[in-house]
Amino acid sequence: MARKTTAKSRKSSSTRRPAAKRSTKTTAKRSAKTAAKRPAKKSTSRSKKTKVDPITLQVIGGALHTAAREMGHVLYRMSFSSIIRESEDLGAGLFDADFQTLSESDSTPLHIGSIPGYLRGMAETLENGEWHEGDVVIHNHPYYGASHSPDIAIAIPIFYEGKLVGFSANTAHHVDIGAATPGLIIDIPDVFAEGMLFAGLKLYKKGVRNETLWQFLQYNSRTSKMLMDDIEAQVASARLGVERYKDLIRQYGYDTFKASCDELMDYTERMMRQEIRKIPNGTYRAEGWMDDDGRNRGKKLPIKVAVTVKGDNVTVDLTGSSDQVPTGFNVPFDGSTKVAVYCAFRSLLLDQAEQEVYIPSNEGSFRPIEVIAPLGSIFNPKFPAAAEARFTQCNRVIDCILRALGPVIPTKITAGNSASLSFISYAGLKPSGDYWVFLEVNEGSYGARATKDGPDSIDNLMCNTRNNPLEDLGMHLPMVCERYELRDDVMPGAGRMRGGIGVVKSQRVLTEGVITHENDRHTDVPWGAFGGHEGAVGKVLRYNARKPGSETEMHAKFSGVGIEADDVIEFYGPCGGGYGDPLERPAAQVLDDVLDDFCTIKHARDAYGVVVTKGLKLDEKATKALRAKMGKKSNGKTKKR
């Protein structure tokens, strides 16, 4: 049982992507010649003969979602590395034979949305050019659909009665894939320095384990045992998805199952288009910048976003953003740039908490959205530019989309978020000579919303990982957490609704080692919305616990920095911007913030016009007078943005 790949030509001797197949934009039109493009809905995709009743449709939709959630659960429960086992830096889902998303696990959005790109990349590069029953394919090539190289995908083709009917696939971030520096990679010359690159290779061929490839994995990672065990967990997760997929076909028949999948995707598309039509037609713009590329200090990288709404379609154009850079601070177009935009609109327009009916997460939400990024830009780099450290840029694109659309959908957007990522790698050698490597994601913060404060110290936008328990850290690694709390050195953005508070975390390393930090937003302050005040930028300090006066401020991102025993890395996350006039925030709510140590007495007076006594009581008379004075001084006008 086999099916050939859809690519018209494939050069197995080269990892270079054919120039004609490196797309600079995604459209809703299907192109059989361009395997890198997202398959769009075919008007004939749904069987005209098969009608599905609403109850069966809902049951199949629920079963698909449950299966994807099971896959994610198996993956993180069976994994050994803390980045998967604790942080859940993973994604899993089921897909049809055209690589369209049918269901997703409740995991990190960037993992989930990128898997169709991985599958299309696999089809272009597939070993022997055919899918067979029993194959298990490994893939992570950034120029063939991957989100970035440490996110390794495992995919299994699903056959039913000899016909390829779909795929079960997952991705997970791995601790080390043998790159230039342990764990994370920033200041590197090209994609080949990112470590092992897999393009459509088969871990299992027709059910037979490829021992040569497994041996290659064993000898090309600093943490090879953990890498191989985590990949085994991915294989188990994908195999579970295959069985759940087949179970549904056996129970309902292929025609009913296929018709249900098509209708579910069409339904999600209709709901997305319905929400898009509520936005006034027009082009909306926003911009910001990244601190630097990790090598050329002081050289800011512009980010420019133009969102064009026309009827029930949206185009996001990133033209004008920075040219690609000579480090790993570029973004794979298919696997990350497009996915960031899809995530932005799904969270904006199809937020389940605001919907009266359940809307399944599937390919339908992608179809009305077009993404443009010029080839050679930071959001669509040319091969072989490195592209490992790409996450913050994705979050900043989403943040700019929110800012651009704020004037026309003010109740749906947030003020400026931390919109960054603190991803840090600690590594060293054990007495045995083996490496220990630890990857940690530090929390950010959200900007305020129209009716709610911004959540404090939490992954935001495209990031959805959990923190690592400190007990786990102390049990397995030569590290001690000295401090882990909300920031108190700065205040979040004031507003009718205040911005979220960033985290401060201090990690002390007990041995010599090396650290790499992927981070940003030390210079571009999270913006305030509709009269709300700006938030605060982040910072990173380094000092030695045994050497008073050794404190130095680090750049947001640095690569392969040597550390001594008792060196401490102290990360301060950005604070979110405020929403609305701070003078409209209820005085009692400001007092509560003071009592909770979320706000100082001075900040309550200066930003909110609220007078709190030394005895921590609200002085209502003084507050009323001060607010009247502050309102008069601003001529009764609130600062718009």
User: What mean pLDDT comes out for the span 557-580?
Assistant: 97
Q: Would you mind telling me the total number of residues written for the chain in this entry? A: 641
Ordered DSSP codes for 105-148: -SS-HHHHHHHHHHHHHHHHH-GGGEEETT-EEEE--GGGT-S-
| Closest alpha carbon to 150 in 214, 99, 223 | 223
User: What mean pLDDT comes out for the span 612-636?
Assistant: 91
Its sign, for the CA torsion 375, 376, 377, 379, is positive
> H helices within 479-610, ranges in order?
587-595, 601-608
List CB contacts of 353: < 8 A, sequence separation 6 or more.
Answer: none
Q: Which amino acid is at 567?
A: D
pLDDT digits (tens, 9 = 90+) for 177-187: 999 999 999 99
User: What mean pLDDT comes out for the span 30-47?
Assistant: 36
β-strands 163-173, 503-509: how paired? unpaired
CA–CA separation, 391 and 180 (whole Å): 19
Residue 325's CB: how many other CB atoms inside 10 A?
22
Instruction: Kindly state the DSSP code that residue 352 receives in the 8-state scheme.
Output: G
pLDDT confidence bin for 194, thresholds 50/70/90: very high
Q: What is the mean pLDDT of the chain?
A: 91
pLDDT confidence bin for 7, thresholds 50/70/90: very low
Angle at 317 between CA 311 and CA 319, to 5 degrees: 155
Q: Decide: 448 and 497 in contact? Cβ < 8 Å.
A: yes
| Closest alpha carbon to 181 in 345, 427, 385 | 427
Name the token pair of 400. 């700019």
- Distance spanning both ends of the chain, measured CA to CA: 60
| Closest alpha carbon to 443 in 505, 494, 388 | 505
3-state secondary structure 259-270: HHHHHHHHHHHH
Angle at 391 between CA 127 and CA 79, to 5 degrees: 60
**Could you identify the residue written with the tokens 């749904």?**
46
**Could you identify the residue written with the tokens 């990982």?**
465
Whole-Å CA distances, 531 to 3, 133, 201, 289, 451 = 58, 59, 54, 22, 14
Selected residue with higher pLDDT from 10 and 379: 379
CA dihedral 500, 490, 579, 601 (to 10 degrees): 110
HSE-up of residue 278 (Cα within 13 Å, Cβ side): 13
pLDDT at 530: 98
CA–CA separation, 370 and 27 (whole Å): 5
**Could you identify the residue written with the tokens 């009917």?**
165
Q: Decide: 308 and 282 in contact? Cβ < 8 Å.
A: yes
CA–CA separation, 593 and 604 (whole Å): 9
| Closest alpha carbon to 290 in 336, 317, 322 | 322
pLDDT at 50: 85
Lowest mean pLDDT among 30-39, 372-381, 440-449, 506-515: 30-39
pLDDT at 48: 56
Q: Decide: 124 and 144 in contact? Cβ < 8 Å.
A: yes
Percent of the chain with pLDDT over 90: 84
User: Above 90 in pLDDT, residue 134?
Assistant: yes
pLDDT confidence bin for 558, thresholds 50/70/90: very high
pLDDT digits (tens, 9 = 90+) for 62-87: 999 999 999 999 999 999 999 999 88
Instruction: Kindly state the DSSP code that residue 428 receives in the 8-state scheme.
Output: E
What is the Cα 328 distance to its own chain's centre?
17
**Could you identify the residue written with the tokens 């404190």?**
551
Whole-Å CA distances, 188 to 195, 386, 388, 519, 558 = 11, 7, 9, 16, 11
pLDDT confidence bin for 311, thresholds 50/70/90: very high
Name the token pair of 125. 């590069």
What is the Cα 96 distance to its own chain's centre?
23
> Is the whole-model pTM more than 0.85?
yes
User: Above 90 in pLDDT, residue 162?
Assistant: yes
| Residue 384 preceded by cis peptide, ω within 30 | yes
CA–CA separation, 170 and 172 (whole Å): 7
Its sign, for the CA torsion 474, 476, 478, 479, is negative
CA–CA separation, 577 and 137 (whole Å): 44
**Annotated domain spans of the chain:** 2-19+52-271, 414-580, 584-633
pLDDT at 462: 81
Ordered DSSP codes for 232-275: HHHHHHHHHHHHHHHHHHHHH-HHHHHHHHHHHHHHHHHHHHHH
Question: What is the Rg, in whole angstroms, of the alpha carbon atoms belonging to the chain?
Answer: 25
